Structure 1
Amino acid sequence: MGAARPGISFPAVRNREEYDALVKSDPLFRRLAALICRQHGLSGLGLTRLSVGTSICFQVGREFVLKLFAPIFERNCEAECAVLSYLPGKLPVAVPELVARGSLDDWQYLLMTYLGERPLADSWGSVSGSCKLHLFEELGRVLAVLHKHTDQCWFPLRTDWNSFLTCRAASAVSRHRRLGLDETWVQRAEEFLGSIDLRTPGWFRPSLLHTEIMREHIIVADVSSSPRISGLIDFEAAMFGHPEFEFSWAGVQLTRGDKRLLGALLDGYGLPDTARDTAFRRRLMAYTLLHPYSVMKWYFDWMPVPCGVTTFEQLAELWWAA
């Protein structure tokens, strides 16, 4: 690790609470970002703070992005560094290219190319319904290509999929309780997860997953004429796992329960209607409960549950029928 610089150094961070208390300290991190830029010959290009992902991000001039990772997010840095070193040129759309990796004090950073980001989230209100369907079909095709990557030899954070699921299941119920989910639904979650078997056979080959496909991470171009997806960003949570795990996040964060949008996404992906059965929808519901960054309380706020829906089996039919 690099040594602390006289008069300026990264703060010590031991847990998420300390990180959250520091993350909005823009002047401090702006000075540290400027220091890193000087080390890479990028002084004077201008720094613009970005609100992307968990890490602290700055746009550097018009060509680069600098992401700062606290020690508690070392795994995120490892994952994104590996993906940005491997994936450029292997998808139908662009992903950032890694320019440099380094460290100061106990923090790490990645310097990467800037895609001229215009996230779909920023353009959502100006994109017509028919164009959204087209974009979601296009995204499905992109994800189908992403998931064809099953060779893990280049990825430093290999995970046994069944062990991952077991670990997530052991903590999911208490986690959602801690994050404010109504106790009635907490108890229902425990019963539902106990009824679903997500284990995969020994011959199963996990796919490369983004795991956080959301409007903020999809870059679009030609919004005013013929919108198209031009890139994907933020691979901090990338991992290898079951392709269906990708759609659990997309079904709430991206489509927000819109059956037409989810249908377009799965059409583009090439998933036949016959595979979108009750068992498929329930698996997605279970994956949603197990996702490391899932907050069910938020989802109930975004997509109010109608009267009469009192089980996760019913919720699966409501959110993932496509």
Structure 2
Amino acid sequence: MTMAPSQTLPHFADAKSFRAFRFDPSQWLPIALDIARGHGLDIASPHVFATGTNLVVGLGDRLILKIFPPLLRAQFVSERGSLMQLNGRLDLPIPEIVAEGERDGWPYLVITLLSGTLGSEVWPHLPETQKQRVLRQIGETIASVQRAPLGPLAGLEPPWDAFMRAQMRGCRDRHTRLGLAPKFLAGLDDLLRDAARLIPMDAPPVILIGEYIPENFLLASRDDQWSLAGLFDFGDVRAGWRDYDLLGPSAFMSAGRPGRVRSLLEGFGYTNPDFALKRRLMALMLLHHASDLNSHICIEGWQDKANDLVELQELIWGE
């Protein structure tokens, strides 16, 4: 049964019940359209986005309405603050905020829809030289975002040192639960000991997007050359050490191929990665908020190609 627009958005105590609600647009689309109507926006041809974490609906071919449940309010704070802070500071297009508000305790944003093709649709089919080209552009974009001042994003919780220390405390339990092979778990204590020394805890923090992956950027083609055309989804932004944002493209896109790795790191500003850098990246990959090596390392048969974490870091970032 379709809910009437006058009904209210419900309260959910946990993410599972919210996801069930999100997967049934008949329960919330009328309310979303009522919000859009209240801002005088075009609701003639709405398009529900099936993927993503929040309630997202396209309004015509120009705007997107993104509604955040109260239990994910931190994502709203992150997205709103990031879009405001990065507005006009990047060469790469990002969404602009057109309107914002709150309905029944659910904050929302109306943002512009970027043009381009979703990276995940294009990336698997790109020739190797163009994959290297895109990865260099991603490295350059990460560096560009990190040159922007933090502004109010400096107040995002938790602070970097507290986040890292919590990740370190839970690291072994997390990867044991996720089924990381014993030969890699065996080196975890040594790696975490190195991590405490290699990962700066009190260096000046920068803006970290957290997920530079094909699902979160757009590509466009000109003369059969694909280039980065837009960046979106800023719900997981935090402030911290700069190398953290190399992990998404390293895991999902570089695939341990030297040309791709070199393009990404050089675009970011690193040349000739030494053992300390690779060790730090390996530690950060295991400490990432979404870390799951078995699901995220896109190197075929990598579990059999490395005998320990040192060999694994060479497999991922070696020349």
Provide TM-score, normalisation by structure 2.
0.89
C-alpha separation between the residues in 2 aligned to 1:193 and 1:223? 45
Match of 1:261 in 2: 260
Contact 1:152 1:158 (8 Å CA) reproduced: no
Q: Paired residues, what number?
A: 316
- The offset of 1:264, in angstroms, is 0.7
Contact 1:103 1:109 in 2 (8 A): yes
Deviation at 1:43, TM superposition (A): 4.0
Q: Which amino acid aligns with 2:277?
A: F
Name the residue aligned to 1:282: 279
Following the alignment from structure 2 to structure 1, what is the Cα–Cα distance between the partners of residues 318 and 109? Answer: 39
Which deviations, in whole Å up to 9, do the C-alpha atoms of 1:56-88 show, x marking residues without a partner?
322111111111212221111100000111212
1:190 & 1:44 partners in 2: Cα distance?
A: 55
Corresponding position: 1:110 with 2:115: no
1:292 Cα offset (Å): 0.9
Q: Unmatched 5+ residue regions in structure 1?
A: none
The one-letter amino acid of 1:96's match is P
With over 3 angstroms needed to count, the CA separation of the structure-2 counterparts of 1:282 and 1:133, relative to structure 1, is same
User: What residue number does 1:237 align with?
Assistant: 236
Counterparts of 1:156 and 1:121, CA distance in 2? 32
Q: 1:308 to 1:131 in 2, by over 3 A?
A: closer
Alpha-carbon distance in 2 for matches of 1:201, 1:124? 34
Structure 2 CA distance for partners of 1:31 and 1:186, relative to 1, 3 Å = farther
* CA spacing shift, 1:223–1:110, aligned 2, 3 Å: same
Shift of 1:187: 5.0
Q: Does 1:294 align with 2:291?
A: yes
Query: Residue type of the partner of 2:8?
Result: S
Structure 1: which amino acid aligns with 2:310?
E
Q: Is the 8 A contact 2:68 2:108 kept in 1?
A: yes
Matched, 1:152 2:136: no
Percent identical pairs in the alignment equals 24
Indicate the SS of the match to 1:108: strand
Any idea what SS the aligned residue of 1:222 has?
A: strand
Distance 1:223 1:47 in 2: 29
Does structure 1 residue 95 correspond to structure 2 residue 94?
A: yes
What is the identity, as a one-letter code, of the residue corresponding to 1:33?
Answer: A
CA–CA distance in 2 between the matches of 1:162 and 1:253? 26
Contact conserved, 2:142 with 2:268, CA < 8 A, in 1? yes
Which whole-Å deviations, capped at 9, do the CAs of 1:81-128 have from their partners, x for residues lacking one? 001112122111100011122222232211100002411111124422
Query: Given that residues 135 and 249 in structure 2 are in contact (C-alpha distance below 8 angstroms), is that contact kept between their aligned partners in structure 1?
Result: no
Q: Secondary structure at the match of 1:130?
A: helix
Deviation at 1:317, TM superposition (A): 1.0
1:19 Cα deviation from its structure 2 partner: 2.6
Gaps of at least 5 residues in structure 2 are none
Deviation, structure 1 residue 230 = 1.5
Q: Deviations over 1:17-68 (max 9, x none)?
A: 2233333112223222212111111243322122454223221111111112
Deviation digits for residues 158-180 of structure 1 (CA, Å, limit 9, x no counterpart): 54322221011112222333344
Amino acid at match of 2:151: Q
Structure 1 CA distance for aligned equivalents of residues 302 and 60 of structure 2: 45
**Corresponding residue SS for 1:59:** strand
Alignment of 1:1-322 (within 5 A): 8-153=7-152, 155-157=154-156, 159-182=158-181, 185-186=184-185, 188-197=187-196, 198-200=198-200, 202=202, 204-222=203-221, 225-273=224-272, 276-299=273-296, 303-307=300-304, 309-322=306-319
- Per the normalisation by structure 1, the TM-score is 0.88
Contact 1:210 1:238 in 2 (8 A): yes
Over residues 138-192 of structure 1, what are the superposed CA-to-partner deviations in whole Å (9 max), with x where a residue is unaligned? 2222221111124434554154322221011112222333344456644543553
CA separation of 1:301 and 1:92: change in aligned 2, threshold 3 A: closer
Instruction: Name which of structure 1's ranges 163-172 and 222-231 shifts more when overlaid on structure 2.
Output: 222-231
